[in-house]
Structure 1
Amino acid sequence: MAEAGPAASEDPAWRALPLDNLTLTRKEGFAAFAEARETPIPLTLTMADLRALDPAALEHYNDDRRRFLANLRPIKTMQVQELSADLTDIFDAGVDQPNWQAKGMAAIDAFPGLGKTTIGLSFAKKVHNTLISRHGRFTEAGHERWPVIRVGMMGDTSVKDFNWAMLEFFAHAGRNSGSANAFLSRALDCAVSCQSRLLLVDDLQFLQFRSRRGTELANQFKTIANEFPLMILFIGHDLEGKGLYDDPQLARRITPLGLQAFSIEDEAGREQWRRFLLSLEQRLVLANKYPGMLADDLSDQLYARCSGHIGSLMSLIRLGSLRAMRTGQERLTKDVLAQVKLDWAAQQQLAKWEAFLASGKVTSNRTRAEGGGDDAPDAAHPAARAPG
C-alpha cells in the first residue's frame, strides 16, 4: 500500500491532520486550493447604503470586498479557452493509454505576467475535481486518490531533488533518506497507487537544460513519461532558449503551447481587450461603478499602464479598487489609477505607451484605429522586450 495516505474511511484523514494547507507543493495544500469554494461576490451597495452602515458593519463589508478582490476568478478569454481545450485534448488522449505507452507532455511557454501558471493551475484543478468526482476520493484498493502532483523548480534542482519533491508532495515516509533511484521508485509507487494522472512542473525556466544537471533532468522527464501513468505539464518562459527541445525525444513528445499579451494593433485584438474589460468591470464591487467605466473611459490608460500584460492589469485593478474603497470614491478613475504604483516592467513601458496613445495613432477602445502599426512601442508583442 502506498505511504501517501491512510486507507479509506468515511472522513478523509488528511482533512483533520495539522498538515500544510497553504503551499501547492504538498497534497493537502493542493487539495485545499483545488476544492476551495469560490469566494462569494458581495452585494454591491449604493453610496447611501454605505453611509447607513455602522463602523463595524462597514468594516465587515469591506473585508468581504477585499477578500473577493484577492480571489478574482480568471476571465476566460478566447486565447485561454483555446489553450485549455488543447490541454484537455492532450490529457484525454493519454489517460486511457496502456501503461507501456509514453503519456503526453505539454509545455505552456509565455512571458512573465501573462497568466500561464494561473491557466496551468486551473487545468490541474479541473483534473483533480473531475477525477475525484468521477471515481471517488479513494481507489478500489483503499488508497487516497491524488490525481495531480505539483512540483516547483529551483535553479539548482537535481534529479534527486526532483524525485524528493514528488515524495514531499505525497508526504511519503521514505523521503528522508535514499538515493535518487530509490526516491523515483517510491514516487512511482505513490503515483500508481494513488492513480495520479497529471504531473505539473512549474517554473521550468530556472533550469538550464544545456548544463550537465539539466541534461540529467531532461533524461529523467523521459523516464517519468515512459514509466508513470500520467501526463506531464511544464510551465515556464523561454523554454526553447533554455534548451528543453534540444533532446530529440522531448522535442517529439512535448506539445508547445503559448500565450501572448493583449494587442491593440488590429480590430480583433481591440475587441478582445474590450470584452475582457467589460467582463472585469462587471465583477468589481464598487458603489459608484457604471457601465463602460473600464472599457470606455479607462481603456487607453489601463493599456498604457499594463502594456497588455494580464498580471500587471489585475494588480492595477486590485490596488486601484482598494484605494477607491479606502478613499470613499467607490469608482476607478484616471486619478485613482495614476496613484497606484506599478511593477518595474510596467513602469518601463508606461511612458512609451502613454505617448503613443496620446498621439492618436492608435487607441484601444475604438472600432477602427487611425494610423497605428510599426511605430507602436513593442507593437506586435508588447511583452517582447519586457524584462523577465
Structure 2
Amino acid sequence: MKAELWHSHAREEPYPQPGIHTLEELRAMSPAARMRVLRAQRLWMTSLQFDWPQQHRLHQMLTECVEDNEVLGHGAKEIFAVDAEYGVGKSTLVRQWAIRLYREAVGEAIDSPQIPVWEPRPGVHAHHVPLVWVNLASAANIKEFNTAILEYLGYPVSGTIRSMNLRVADALDRHRIRLLIIDDAHLLNTRPMQGHDVLDHIKHINTELGERDGTMILVGAQLDGHPILEDPQIGARLRYVPIGPMGIDTATERSQWQHFLYGIEQRILPYLPRAQPGLLAGQHAPRIWRRTQGYVGDVAELVRRAARAAAEDDRWTITVDHLENADLKERAKRHAMAEQRHKEQVAQAMAKNAKKSAAKQAAR
C-alpha cells in the first residue's frame, strides 16, 4: 500500500443506503425493477460494518495509548499489540480506528484527493503523512520491513540497510509520521539466524518514532508465545490485547450477543417487510451462533445471505432454512461441524453414563 491509496480510502463515503419499500410495492415491481432494488440492498448490506463490544473497548484503548505516548517523555514509547486468530477481524477493527484518527489528523485536507502538504522547514514542502500502514510479507526481514515503509512514502528502496534506516528516520520528521501500524506482524522473520536482528530493528524504529512522540501498533495472529512478545525489552513496553469471537457461555456474553444481533436487526429488518422485531436477537440467536461461533464477519455474511434468500423467494423474513442453507466460508463450516461433533460426543457420553447408572440400579 502507498500513502496515496490510504488517503483515498480515508476519503471514501459510506455506500449509499437504498430506499425502503413496503411489501405491496415490492410485489408490484417489474422483474427488472425488483432486481435493481435487490442489487442495491445487497451491495449496501455487504458494505455494512456492525458494532460489537470488543470494538469499542479496543478503539478506546488504542486512542488512550496514542494520547499517552504524546505526553510521555521522549524516547521509546509503549507499543500496542492486537492479537487474534485468523478470521476474528482484528485488522478491520484497527483499520476502522486508524481511518478515523487519520481524518482527524489531516482535518479539512481530507476533502482534497491530494495528500496534504506542510512545511517541515521554511520553504521546504513535503507530504503530511501522519499514519503509515505496513502490510508485511512472509518472513519479512529488516530490509523488507524498511522497504514497506519507504514504498508507502514513495521513497527509493535501494541501498544498504543502514542507508535505508537513515531514510526511514528522516521520513519520520519530513512527513510528521506519528503512527506506524504493522499488520501481520507475526510474519516478521524471527527465526534464529535473523530473528534477533529483526527484533532489535523493531526496537530501534520504536525509539525513533518515540523521539517524535509517535506510536507503533502491531497487529498479528496468534502472537501469544511469539518471539516478539517474549523479547524482554519489547515486553517491557508492550500493551498486549488479545481479541476473539463473541461467546455465549455466560449471562453477560449472551446479553452482549443478543445486543449485537439487535443492532444488526435495526439495519437489516426494515428491508424485510414481513420480519418482526426480535427475529435475530431472540428467535434465531442460538442458531446464528452455532453457524458462526461468534465470528463477527461470518455473522454479517450469514445474515446478509439469509436476507437475500428471503427476498428472492418472496417470503421477506428470515427463516430457519434461510440460515441453515446459507453458504459460508470454509472456516465457519469446519467450526460448525466440529461444534456439532462435540455436542454429539457429549450426548453419547451422557447417554452411556445414564445407561451404566440404570444398570447399577437394576443390579441392586
TM-score range, shorter chain: 0.7 to 0.9
Partner of 2:276: 290
- Partner secondary structure for residue 81 of structure 2: strand
Does 1:194 pair with 2:175?
A: yes
Q: 1:73 and 1:309 mapped to 2: Cα distance?
A: 13
1:38 Cα shift?
Answer: 1.6
Conserved 8 A contact 2:140-2:189: no
Partner of 2:99: 125
1:355 Cα shift?
Answer: 7.5
Does 1:110 pair with 2:91?
A: no
Q: 1:144 aligns with which of 117, 127, 134?
A: 127
Q: 1:327 and 1:233 mapped to 2: Cα distance?
A: 46
Does 1:211 pair with 2:186?
A: no
Question: For the structure 1 residues 358 and 57, does the alpha-carbon distance in structure 2 shift closer, same or farther, using more than 3 Å as the test?
Answer: farther
Q: 2:75 aligns with which of 101, 113, 134?
A: 101
Q: 2:54 aligns with which of 79, 86, 90?
A: 79
Does 1:317 pair with 2:291?
A: no
1:210 Cα shift?
Answer: 4.2
Q: 2:94 and 2:231 mapped to 1: Cα distance?
A: 24
Deviations 1:135-178 (A, max 9, x none): 98332443222121111122221111111111111122x12x22
Q: What letter is aligned with 2:234?
A: L
Q: What letter is aligned with 2:295?
A: H
Q: 2:320 and 2:344 mapped to 1: Cα distance?
A: 14
1:97 Cα shift?
Answer: 4.8
Give runs of aligned pairs for residues 1-388 of structure 1, distance below 5 A.
Answer: 25-75=1-51, 77-97=52-72, 100-133=74-107, 137-141=116-120, 142-172=125-155, 174-175=156-157, 177-207=158-188, 209-228=190-209, 229=212, 230-284=214-268, 285-351=271-337, 353-354=339-340
- Partner secondary structure for residue 200 of structure 1: strand
Q: 2:173 and 2:31 mapped to 1: Cα distance?
A: 55
Conserved 8 A contact 2:50-2:263: no
Deviations 1:260-316 (A, max 9, x none): 322211111100000000001111133433211111121111011011222222222
Q: What letter is aligned with 2:186?
A: Q
Q: 1:358 and 1:50 mapped to 2: Cα distance?
A: 43
- Partner secondary structure for residue 139 of structure 1: strand
Deviations 1:226-276 (A, max 9, x none): 112321111112213221122211001111012132221111110000000
1:46 Cα shift?
Answer: 1.8
More helix by share: 2
Q: What letter is aligned with 1:32?
A: S
Where does the alignment leave 5 or more consecutive residues of structure 2 unmatched?
Answer: 111-115, 348-364
RMSD: 2.5
Q: What letter is aligned with 1:212?
A: M
Q: 1:328 and 1:358 mapped to 2: Cα distance?
A: 35
Q: 1:258 and 1:180 mapped to 2: Cα distance?
A: 33
1:208 Cα shift?
Answer: 5.1
Q: What letter is aligned with 1:276?
A: F
**What is the TM-score normalised by the length of structure 2?**
0.83
**What is the TM-score normalised by the length of structure 1?**
0.79
Conserved 8 A contact 2:189-2:198: no
- Partner secondary structure for residue 239 of structure 2: strand
Question: For the structure 1 residues 355 and 140, does the alpha-carbon distance in structure 2 shift closer, same or farther, using more than 3 Å as the test?
Answer: same
Conserved 8 A contact 1:207-1:242: no
**Residues matched between the structures, number:** 333
Q: 2:83 and 2:56 mapped to 1: Cα distance?
A: 16
Deviations 1:21-46 (A, max 9, x none): xxxx2112211222211223222212
Q: Decide which moves more: 318-327 or 60-69.
A: 318-327
Q: What letter is aligned with 1:48?
A: E
Question: For the structure 1 residues 290 and 208, does the alpha-carbon distance in structure 2 shift closer, same or farther, using more than 3 Å as the test?
Answer: farther
Conserved 8 A contact 1:203-1:236: yes
Q: Decide which moves more: 236-245 or 182-191.
A: 182-191
Indicate the structure (1 or 2) with the bigger Cα radius of gyration. Answer: 2
Partner of 1:368: none
Partner of 2:353: none
Where does the alignment leave 5 or more consecutive residues of structure 1 unmatched?
Answer: 1-24, 362-388
Question: For the structure 1 residues 327 and 358, does the alpha-carbon distance in structure 2 shift closer, same or farther, using more than 3 Å as the test?
Answer: farther
Conserved 8 A contact 1:107-1:234: yes
Identity across matched positions, percent: 25
Q: 2:233 and 2:108 mapped to 1: Cα distance?
A: 33
